[in-house]
């Protein structure tokens, strides 16, 4: 018996715009990963549960997204890694990104969280301009 995902690989994304940054809400990570595989999209996942600071968050994202060793570990460098080098490497099929358990600590406050999400919103806009889906889902710890 086929699962609904096999019948419709886009089903976990039904009603989700092609270029968006939103709370993960009812989505499940395995379903998003399966949808990415079925659609041929890149799946980028970072679990940030052990992060306390901006540097921790950037370190974990760099490790889990397998960024190059020269990654600058600041929000500008994160933006660059999510856009320009990928664009220059050739045609891209699309992206599904999950940022799970973004910290809500004193050292990673609301302003830092918004700055982080703004980087991903800017990346979604960048890819939208190129007609490439970029969906980012996040949750807070």
User: Domain coordinates of the chain in residue numbers?
Assistant: 47-94+107-130
Considering the entire predicted model, what is its pTM?
A: 0.89
Per residue, what are the HEC states of 68-109? Answer: CCCCCCCHHHHHHHHCHHHHHCCCCCCEEEEEEEECCECCEC
What pLDDT tens digit does each residue of the chain (141 aa) get?
A: 333 334 455 578 888 899 999 999 989 999 999 999 999 999 999 999 999 999 999 999 999 999 988 888 899 999 999 987 776 777 899 999 999 999 999 999 999 999 999 999 999 999 999 999 999 999 998
* CATH code of the region 47-94+107-130: 3.30.370
């Amino acid at each position: 018996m086929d699962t609904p995902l096999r019948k419709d690989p886009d089903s976990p994304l039904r009603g989700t715009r092609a270029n968006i940054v939103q709370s993960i809400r009812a989505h499940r990570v395995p379903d998003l990963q399966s949808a990415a595989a079925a659609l041929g999209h890149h799946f980028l996942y970072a679990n940030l549960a052990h992060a306390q600071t901006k540097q921790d968050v950037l370190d974990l994202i760099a490790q889990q997204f397998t960024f190059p060793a020269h990654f600058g570990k600041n929000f500008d460098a994160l933006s660059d890694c999510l856009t320009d080098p990928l664009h220059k490497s050739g045609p891209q099929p699309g992206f599904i990104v999950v940022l799970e358990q973004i910290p809500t600590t004193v050292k990673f406050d609301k302003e830092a969280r918004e700055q982080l999400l703004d980087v991903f919103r800017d990346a979604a806009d960048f890819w939208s301009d190129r007609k490439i889906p970029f969906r980012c889902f996040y949750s807070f710890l």
